[in-house]
Structure 1
Amino acid sequence: MTWLKSLLFFVLAGLCEIGGGYLIWLWLKEGKPIWYGIAGGLILALYGVVATLQTASFGRVYAAYGGVFIVLALLWAWKVDGFKPDKYDIIGAAVALIGACIIVYTPRGVIR
């Protein structure tokens, strides 16, 4: 159950980062009202808080988060921007996600 909770925190952090960044993008690049930027900044700050809910160390969490972020960014682009990932996008995202899982979820013992 711990890994499921961890996965939930990764997804929530990713949605906060991508969603917050997207709102700032809309404000600065597409002329949306300033409150888009303010809301985006608050959501980005929430991303930083959500990431601290992980139980692994800071470096390991942020390294692994990169893989999760890649998958979420492609899903966001597909569903929100109409971008259609090709097979190389999918293969690359799968490799990154496998790497993230290895970093965070591999049992560690004493190396001798």
Structure 2
Amino acid sequence: MTAYILYLGAALAEIGGCFAFWAWLRMDKSIWWLVPGVGSLIVFAYLLTLVDSEHAGRAYAAYGGIYILCAIFWLWLAEGTAPDRWDIIGVAICLAGSAVILLGPRGGG
């Protein structure tokens, strides 16, 4: 469960940091939006290092499902566009894949 909390924090930090760049380049916001954006991306990278995993690639792959869930919530809450059934189905598939990667038994083969 701790990994999912770390993934949630990392996803919020990554989306916030990336949105700062989006706002600057696509919404004509001040370049100063990049200061908290870069800080947020640093927090994102740090949080991923706290996940208990022997391999970075596996931690990042499992994180992908949580990121997608958070991105859809961002679409809904921050951008005012409700997710459609395809968004919800896609999130469910990604979360299932994330759970398999994160929680699957590891061992001899």
TM class by smaller structure: over 0.9
SS in 2 for 1:54: coil
Tell me the matched-pair count: 108
Q: After superposition, where does 1:62-101 map in structure 2 within 5 Å?
A: 62-101=60-99
Q: After superposition, where does 1:20-35 map in structure 2 within 5 Å?
A: 20-35=17-32
Instruction: Say whether residues 1:16 and 2:9 are aligned partners.
Output: no
Q: Which 5+ residue runs of structure 2 have no aligned equivalent?
A: none
The offset of 1:73, in angstroms, is: 0.4
SS in 2 for 1:67: helix
The offset of 1:107, in angstroms, is: 2.1
Between 1:30-39 and 1:7-16, the stretch displaced more is: 30-39
TM-score of the pair, normalised by structure 2: 0.93
SS in 2 for 1:68: helix
Cα RMSD of the aligned pairs, angstroms, is 1.0
Q: Which 5+ residue runs of structure 1 have no aligned equivalent?
A: none
Moved over 3 A (4+): none
TM-score of the pair, normalised by structure 1: 0.90
